[in-house]
Amino acid sequence: MSEITGAWRRTAAGAGLLRPDGSVATTIFAEMSGLATSTGALNLGQGFPDEDGPAEVLEAARSAIAGGANQYPPGRGIPDLLQAIAEHQERFYCVTLDPEREVLVTAGATEALASTLLALIDSPEDEVVVFEPFYDSYAACVALAGARLVTVPLRWPDFQPDLDALEAVVSDRTRIILVNDPHNPTGAVFSSEVRERIVALADRHDAVIVTDEVYEHLTFGEPHVPIATIPGAAERTLTISSAGKTFRTTGWKIGWLSGPEELVTAVMTVKQYLTYVNGSPFQPAIAVGLRLPDEFFAHIARDLEHGRDMLGAGLRAAGFDVSVPRGSYFTVADAGPLGATDADEFCRELPRRAGVVGIPVTAFVTPEHRADYATLVRFAACKRVDVIEQAASRLACMAP
């Protein structure tokens, strides 16, 4: 996409989404996956698994298609999936939800985020606090919703927010504190102190907490703690998740959100005019997935932890400094020790130099903060063991 005009151009410019030459970029994921395809490089860029998810879930989708689940499902989602989501929140987190009022199925977490921001933002003075670096759709959707993006930095190497910095940006103008825990791209898992402070600040300034927990089952050696379970949070928190990461079905785009009825209803009102509904045969299949035994969920985290360890060792052996992630698909590495000064440039050269694709962390930050993340690269560990092994040995022999 090179030229774009009209309202979105102004919105994109305001959100800092334009390239230096004034063009509007395609997402960094599309761009880097395109580079992997055109160069034949190993794609440790875009976060999608290269193996299928559980056979029961795939089979359930096939039989749903064969059984005729091919027309519009109900607007909120099919009752069986709503029930399965409520059961899942109860089983893992002791959170009790009314599936008919407090749960909504969406077209991926992306639509849950977009419709939440569009639904809750009232005025151009509203502020949305995000932790930077942030998942790319956050800034775009805050801009589309017409609010101000306010950032709290997460700094190398542990990427925990500074509590004073957080406190300094939350005010009565804050409409939403947008949390992503476990965090993309850094792999950080917020400490309980951070979670508690977020809840206290949201309460003090009457803000809504929107929490993106798509990597909820991908934490290493510690159970995930939804921010909604912190005392005082439930009544002001919308929790978003997705089947994509947990069941390796990123292309199915089945996501959901849950929280107080009033907030969920507001989001549903907007959501019905975005996609209306989606994924009719995939909804019953994800209900099957959410009811898989505990062992399945423990196993996916262990598998990914193994991938993370292999990737980390490979990156270290190749000369990167590595931040050890506590969750998510991703590992952030510093290419500074290899002589890099600009991660974007480094990533564009990496296919030629090593036959590997990574994503510059600068793609997840506002233009004014690029310098703070200038040499950091995100690599995805959600790939087959042989792919990670091969990437590690290619990186070890990187050409100048």
Three-state secondary-structure class, residue 83: helix
User: What string marks each residue from 16 to 55 as x (binds ligand PMP by CB under 6 A) or -?
Assistant: -------------------------------x--------
Compute how many residues bind ligand PMP; rule: CB under 6 A.
14
241 binds ligand GLN (CB under 6 A): no
Shortest distance in whole angstroms from residue 400 CB to ligand PMP: 33
Q: Which of residues 182-211 bind ligand PMP (CB under 6 A)?
A: 184
Shortest distance in whole angstroms from residue 220 CB to ligand PMP: 17
Q: Which of ligand GLN, ligand PMP, none interacts with 29 (beta carbon under 5 to 8 A by kind)? A: ligand GLN
Q: Which of ligand PMP, ligand GLN, none interacts with 180 (beta carbon under 5 to 8 A by kind)? A: ligand PMP
Computed from CA positions of residues 246, 249, 253, 254, in that sequence, does the dihedral angle turn out positive or negative? negative
CA distances to 50, 137, 143, 346 from 112, in Å: 25, 11, 16, 33
Q: Which of ligand GLN, ligand PMP, none interacts with 280 (beta carbon under 5 to 8 A by kind)? A: none
* DSSP per position, 203-243: HHTTPEEEEE-TTTT-BSSS----GGGSTTTGGGEEEEEEH
Beta strands at 148-153 and 127-132: parallel, antiparallel or unpaired = parallel
Residue 61, token pair as written in the block:
């989708």
Shortest distance in whole angstroms from residue 389 CB to ligand GLN: 21
Question: Of 35 and 169, which CB lies nearer to ligand GLN in the complex structure?
Answer: 35
Asked whether 112 and 267 are in contact (CB, 8 A), the reply is yes
Separation between Cα atoms, residue 293 and residue 284, nearest integer Å: 17
Asked whether 199 and 227 are in contact (CB, 8 A), the reply is yes
User: What string marks each residue from 35 to 74 as x (binds ligand GLN by CB under 6 A) or -?
Assistant: -----------xx---------------------------
Q: What is the dihedral of CA 80, 86, 87, 89, to 10 degrees?
A: 150
Q: Which of residues 116-135 bind ligand PMP (CB under 6 A)?
A: 135
Secondary structure, 3-state, 248-273: CCCCCCEEEEECCHHHHHHHHHHHCC
Using the contact rule CB under 6 A, the part of the chain among 107-115, 160-168, 288-296, 343-351 near ligand PMP is 107-115
Residues interacting with ligand PMP, by CB under 6 A? 47, 108-110, 135, 180, 184, 212, 214, 242, 244, 250, 253, 255
